[in-house]
Amino acid sequence: MAPLLEVHNLTKAFGGLYAVRGVSFSVNRGEVLSIIGPNGAGKTTVFNLISGFYSPTEGEIRFKGEVINRLKPHQRALRGLGRTFQIVKPFPGLSILENVMVGAFARTNSVDEARKEAMRILEFVGLEGRAHLLASTLTLAGRKRLEVARALATKPDLILLDEVSAGLNPTEVEEMIRLLRQLADMGIGSVAGVEHVMQVVMTISDRVVVLNHGELIAAGTPHEVVNNPAVIEAYLGGEVAHHA
Amino acid sequence: MSTSKIRDAALPLLLAAVVLAVPLVLKTPYWLNVLILVLVWTTLGTAWNIVGGYAGQLSLGHSAFFGLGAYTLALTAGKLGWNPWAGIALGMVLSVPLALFIGSITFRLHGPYFVLASLAIAEVLRLVTLAWRSVTNGAVGLMVPFLFEGISRAPYYWFIAVVAIVAVGLTWWIERHKLGYYLTAIREDQETAESIGINTTGYKNLALVLSAVIAAVTGSFYASYLSYIEPDIVLSEPVSLQMAIVAIIGGRGTVFGPAVGATLLVLASELFRAQFKQAHLLIYGLLLMAAILFLPGGVLGTLQQRIKARRAAKAAAIGATFARKEAS
């Protein structure tokens, strides 16, 4: 079976500066692919390219067999591509339930159905007790869950999670990991951006790709990747890599 | 329809009935005139509110649609001798391409382009109307035929009351359906809205078209009610501003906010004009500043926020009690 998402030679230049250059990878259904890389490596640019907020300078993005390069963000979302944002963006003036309902409207026109679906998803992510509070009352961990819930409500086949763990404490990170594994069990593919919490990378990823300065420097299973000298060099600097 | 939906609709329907019954009781021309003005501004504020309040796209050029309606009626019914109702219908139809012209260019862009374009279009229309004397009579203005025979103002009242009720009813419907959720989502965060499958350009255009049609029909009505129009009456910046102010004072993004705002502003302006002569604009301005300072969500908006916050606090308190019981 063809991969759910196939990215080939993805390149984005802002003026003369390459934010992402020649990146290729693929994701299957029910698989968690982590994109790791230091701050500024180009992870968010990759997410923005796949979800349609940027258009690539070069390269091809194929989703469920279709080339989606020229589709607008909302068209990609309706085809089953969900995303969250690194800097969480809830609808602050709407209740938590309403936030998720807006997502559910991607698949229904009925308010009652959207509400039912949203409640179901809030139970799944563990926010049902706060359904009627304003989204702005949530902590960062809660907002990250809400982002996932809202994306889930659009019934995605693939979900792009820009930065799953930044700003979370260890308990919250564990809860987030559990949530991502559940998504995979439901057959939803995910691409998770992770800056440096290795616990996340090691426990949730089926495969890992590593970006540095916008280029793909390593790919493979979590174990292969963390032992890769190029990766160690990117994270810790040249000297440590030589001593290791 | 379920019983809860009927209960939900009962109060608005009662209100509509009361509004329609007014001329049966109230016969004073002065007060009927004041109420007609209240209804005109309720309708205009409501039209503005769909795009400026719910969808969050500020317009400072809604006089373009208002003036288009007014001039279309004046030119077709006045100059060409059409049936006035056909002139009103044409004004509504013409407002659609005008709205789509502004919307489909500026709604694709992020930034203050829509508000600037709306301002510019209204100003262009005003200048064209002033300069194109052979058609519009320029600053001299045009006579507009009466919609209703006789000297009674009641038929005018009923006409604008029906338009106002339809406009407010439409907003009421929007708020309870997918469209309302989508417009609110666009206002709250456009990028997030796109990421969950909302065609933001399309929905903003839809909101602007609905808004424009309502403003156009009100413009036609107002022209016929005054029986005379000129560019500085129907196409001037104060008209656009007043539409926004009515909605903002009453409560942006609330169903009845523009009605509350229109009532307050029209009554205040009538009262102050009688009491303070030339100083009435000064007092009007002070009132506006006070409202914006102390009621940032508008009269109805602030009230609704307080109620919502209290409910949420109550819900949170109940949640906390449960948590404490579980813990002990």
DSSP states along B19-50: HHHHHHH---HHHHHHHHHHHHHHHHHHHHII
For A197, phi then psi, to 5°, come to: -80, 100
Same domain, B114 and B252: yes
Q: Which residues of A touch B193 (CB under 8 A)?
A: 74, 102
Bridge-partner residues for B26, per DSSP?
A: none
Q: Is B151 on the interface with A (CB under 8 A)?
A: no
Same domain, B95 and B42: yes
Does residue A9 carry a pLDDT above 60? yes
- What does the angle CA A164 – CA A170 – CA A175 come to, to the nearest 5 degrees? 60
Q: Is B197 on the interface with A (CB under 8 A)?
A: yes
Percent of chain A with pLDDT over 90: 69
Cα–Cα dist B16/B39, whole Å: 12
Same domain, B315 and B265: no
The total of structural domains in chain B comes to 2
Bridge-partner residues for B228, per DSSP?
A: B143
For B83, phi then psi, to 5°, come to: -65, 130
Q: What is the pTM for the complete model shown?
A: 0.91
Same domain, B305 and B267: no
What is the pairing mode between strands A32-36 and A58-63? unpaired
Does the structural domain A5-243 have CATH classification 3.40.50.300?
A: yes
Same domain, B282 and B259: yes
Over residues A26-51, mean pLDDT: 92
Same domain, B177 and B277: yes
Would you call B196 and A106 a contact, using CB atoms and an 8 Å cutoff?
A: yes
> Which CATH number characterizes residue B165's domain?
1.10.3470
pLDDT tens for each residue of B174-225: 999 999 999 999 999 999 999 999 999 999 999 999 999 999 999 999 999 9
Over residues A47-70, mean pLDDT: 95
Cα–Cα dist B207/B122, whole Å: 18
Domain residue limits at B326:
298-328
Nearest to B176 among A52, A85, A111 (CB): A111
Would you call A89 and B191 a contact, using CB atoms and an 8 Å cutoff?
A: yes
Confidence bin at B323 (pLDDT 50/70/90):
very low
**Residue B183's closest chain A neighbor by CA?**
A102
Q: Which residues of B touch A127 (CB under 8 A)?
A: none
Q: Do the beta carbons of residue A189 and residue A158 sit within 8 Å?
A: yes
Same domain, B92 and B202: yes
Parse chain A into domains and list their residue ranges. 5-243
In angstroms, the separation between the Cα of residue A79 and the nearest Cα of chain B is: 9
Would you call B196 and A109 a contact, using CB atoms and an 8 Å cutoff?
A: no
Cα–Cα dist A96/B319, whole Å: 15
Burial of B273 (0-12, 13-18, 19+ CB in 10 A): middle
Would you call A89 and B189 a contact, using CB atoms and an 8 Å cutoff?
A: yes
Nearest to A98 among B181, B193, B195 (CB): B181
DSSP states along A54-84: S--SEEEEEETTEE-TT--HHHHHHTTEEEE
Q: Which residues of B touch A109 (CB under 8 A)?
A: 178
Cα–Cα dist B213/B210, whole Å: 5
Same domain, B257 and B319: no
Same domain, B311 and B217: no
What pLDDT shows up at residue B27? 87
Same domain, B320 and B229: no
Query: Hey, which residues 16-35 in chain B have their CB within 8 Å of chain A?
Result: none
Between the alpha carbon of residue A221 and those of residues A8, A193, A210, A226, A235, the distances in Å are 20, 15, 11, 9, 18
**Residue B187's closest chain A neighbor by CA?**
A91
Q: What angle in degrees, to the nearest 10, is found between the helix axes of B63-73 and B200-226?
A: 50
Same domain, B93 and B241: yes
The set of residues, in sequence order, having a beta carbon less than 8 Å from that of B127 and lying 6+ positions away, is: none
Does residue A112 carry a pLDDT above 80? yes
Q: Which residues of B touch A72 (CB under 8 A)?
A: 194, 199
Over residues A154-173, mean pLDDT: 90
Same domain, B132 and B279: yes
pLDDT tens for each residue of B135-172: 999 999 999 998 898 888 999 999 999 999 999 999 99
